[in-house]
């Protein structure tokens, strides 16, 4: 079974600074997807960024980028120029790329990110 671990329960950063959230995972599969989801106080889960394991290039979405290290099974999220609206719970998630895995997401425990003005 796959597992996802987020070792930082809480992080804080000054507005406009850069912060990196850590995530490691364990799997015996060679093909999979990794995601970062954001959950603000409204509790709506919002996709931040996704990475396909077969792609070596790290995904980037505006101020959000990842550092995907497949051999180390590490998938960190970097938020540049942090904004007050980035304050939320961030979840790292894994999904198999094989049909039997279907649409099952395996989530980490989350990191609560606080932005200090």
Partner 1 sequence: KAGVTQTPRYLIKTRGQQVTLSCSPISGHRSVSWYQQTPGQGLQFLFEYFSETQRNKGNFPGRFSGRQFSNSRSEMNVSTLELGDSALYLCASSPPDRDSPRVNQETQYFGPGTRLLVL
> Could you give the CA distance from residue 9 to residue 33 in angstroms, rounded to a whole number?
23
Residues 14 to 53: which contact partner 1 by CB under 8 A?
33, 35, 37, 42-47, 50, 52
Contact 87, 10 (CB under 8 A): no
CB-nearer residue toward partner 1: 1 or 72: 1
At closest approach, how far in Å is the CB of 108 from partner 1?
Answer: 8
- Which residues, in sequence order, are bridge partners of residue 38? 46, 90
- The two tokens of residue 83 are 């904004």
Single out the segment in contact with partner 1 by CB under 8 A; choices: 10-18, 19-27, 72-80, 99-107: 99-107
Residue 105 interacts with partner 1 (CB under 8 A)?
yes
> Could you give the CA distance from residue 75 to residue 23 in angstroms, rounded to a whole number?
5
Per CB under 8 A, residues contacting partner 1 are 33, 35, 37, 42-47, 50, 52, 91, 95-110
């Amino acid at each position: 079974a796959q597992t996802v671990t987020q070792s930082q329960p809480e992080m804080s950063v000054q507005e406009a600074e850069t912060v990196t959230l850590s995530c490691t995972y364990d799997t015996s599969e060679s093909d999979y997807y990794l995601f970062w989801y954001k959950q603000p106080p409204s509790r709506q889960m919002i996709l931040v960024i996704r990475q396909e394991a077969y792609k070596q290039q790290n995904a980037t979405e505006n101020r959000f980028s990842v550092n995907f290290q497949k051999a180390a099974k590490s998938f960190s999220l970097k938020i540049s120029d942090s904004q007050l609206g980035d304050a939320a719970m961030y979840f790292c998630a894994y999904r198999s790329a094989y049909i039997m895995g279907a649409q099952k997401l395996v989530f980490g425990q989350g990191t609560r990110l606080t932005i200090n003005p």
